[in-house]
Amino acid sequence: MTPPRPTVMRLFTIGDETTHVVGDPECPECQEEYPEPCPCGGLIHAAAGEEDEEGTPWPQTRCDVCGRSEEEID
C-alpha cells in the first residue's frame, strides 16, 4: 500500500480536538478565519472553546510552534 502523500502530517491538539494540522494554513479543524500567523513564524489554531455566562463562545487558541495562545501573545 502506498500512502497518499509522501510527507507525514503532524497533528496537534487543542482541548478535545486532536486533528489540527501543524503548518497547514488551511487546517481543516480550525474555526473560521484561523489559523492566523503567529509572531514566532508558526500558525495559531483555534478550536471551539467555552462559552461565557452570556453565551458568547471563546475559541481556544494555540500556536503550533511556540504553543502560546492568542491572549498570551497580545
- The binding site for Zn ion (CB under 5 A) comprises 20, 27, 29-30, 38, 40, 42, 45, 63, 65-66
Task: State in angstroms the smallest separation of the CB of 6 from Zn ion.
Answer: 22
SS3 (DSSP) at 73:
helix
How do beta strands 17-21 and 11-14 pair? antiparallel
Q: Rank residues 40 and 48 by Cβ distance to Zn ion and give the closer one.
A: 40
Task: State in angstroms the smallest separation of the CB of 39 from Zn ion.
Answer: 7
Task: State in angstroms the smallest separation of the CB of 57 from Zn ion.
Answer: 16
Cα–Cα distance between 31 and 2 in angstroms, integer? Answer: 31
Cα–Cα distance between 50 and 25 in angstroms, integer? Answer: 24
Q: Rank residues 23 and 50 by Cβ distance to Zn ion and give the closer one.
A: 23
